[in-house]
Amino acid sequence: MRLVLMGPPGAGKGTQALVIAGVLGVPHVSTGDIFRANVSRGTPLGIEAKRYMDAGDYVPDGVTNAMVRDRLSQDDCRPGFLLDGYPRTVEQVSELDAMLRSDGLRLDAVVELEVDIDEVVGRLVKRAADQGRSDDSEAVIRRRLEVYGEQTAPLLAVYRDQGLLVAVDGLGKVDEVTGRILAALSIER
Ligand code: AMP
């Protein structure tokens, strides 16, 4: 299965993506995780990405698309993948579509985790305290939510029009939300 998991920062995408990818036996491809790994290793990609991440802005499409193209071309992604945090812009949607189309492939579904924004801010503030992520200060959290609303939320309509969007209530215990996602996709655990 080729899936995309969407939702605002703090919706629980990373947590759910890990579980769902495990159930499906496909790689969990998180652009945020790949960027963070590059930041820790101090690679040129990490040095470039950090400037944007620390401000709560998106890393430029050219950089992000090249990174995803490289990751999805690896053998483990051949049977399928779960994308977490990509695509996030209209240009990334077209680029992903082109990457898949050139191999005669398409997405099976785009899962939207629906959450209340106040709940999300609370979760992000807590995560900042627990994990000390440098992009989790309150001002940056606000900026990230604003960027999501401007650049990523409009993609939901694009995928809805393509008949790919599956909206799932993201509120509740991790296991409950996982159950809803699997049920919405008709996947048995
Ligand atoms: P995440 O962990 O998915 O919230 O991503 C953390 C940060 O990495 C984001 O706030 C962006 O700065 C950057 N990032 C992750 N995915 C993308 C993407 N698809 N396009 C641009 N920037 C991204």
Find the CATH number of the domain harbouring 24.
3.40.50.300
What pLDDT was estimated at residue 119? 82
In a domain, 98, yes or no: yes
Q: Distance between CA 84 and CA 16 in Å, rounded?
A: 9
In a domain, 160, yes or no: yes
Residue 135: pLDDT above 80? no
In a domain, 123, yes or no: yes
* 58 DSSP assignment: P
* Annotated catalytic residue 101: no
Task: Tell whether ligand 1 has an atom less than 6 A from the beta carbon of residue 21.
Answer: no
In a domain, 65, yes or no: yes
What pLDDT was estimated at residue 170? 95
In a domain, 84, yes or no: yes
Q: Which domain holds residue 39?
A: 2-184
Tell me which of 101 and 138 has the higher pLDDT: 101
Instruction: Please name which of 124, 138, 155, 140 lies closest in space to residue 61, comparing C-alpha atoms.
Output: 155
In a domain, 189, yes or no: no
Q: Distance between CA 109 and CA 65 in Å, rounded?
A: 20
Tokens of 62: 């050219």
- pTM of the predicted structure, to 2 decimals: 0.94
First to last CA, the chain: 14
Average pLDDT for 124-145: 83
* Annotated catalytic residue 41: no
State how many domains the chain has. 1
Of 123, 127, 143, 160, which residue is the catalytic one? 127
What pLDDT was estimated at residue 83? 98
What pLDDT was estimated at residue 117? 84
Average pLDDT for 54-79: 97
Task: Tell whether ligand 1 has an atom less than 6 A from the beta carbon of residue 9.
Answer: yes
Residue 94 burial by Cβ neighbours in a 10 Å radius (0-12, 13-18, 19+): middle
pLDDT > 70: percent of the chain = 100
Residue 68: pLDDT above 80? yes
In a domain, 122, yes or no: yes
What pLDDT was estimated at residue 57? 96
Instruction: Please name which of 144, 161, 154, 189 lies closest in space to residue 8, comparing C-alpha atoms.
Output: 144
In a domain, 168, yes or no: yes
Residue 72: pLDDT above 80? yes
Task: Tell whether ligand 1 has an atom less than 6 A from the beta carbon of residue 12.
Answer: no
3-class DSSP assignment, residue 96: helix
Residue 151: pLDDT above 90? yes
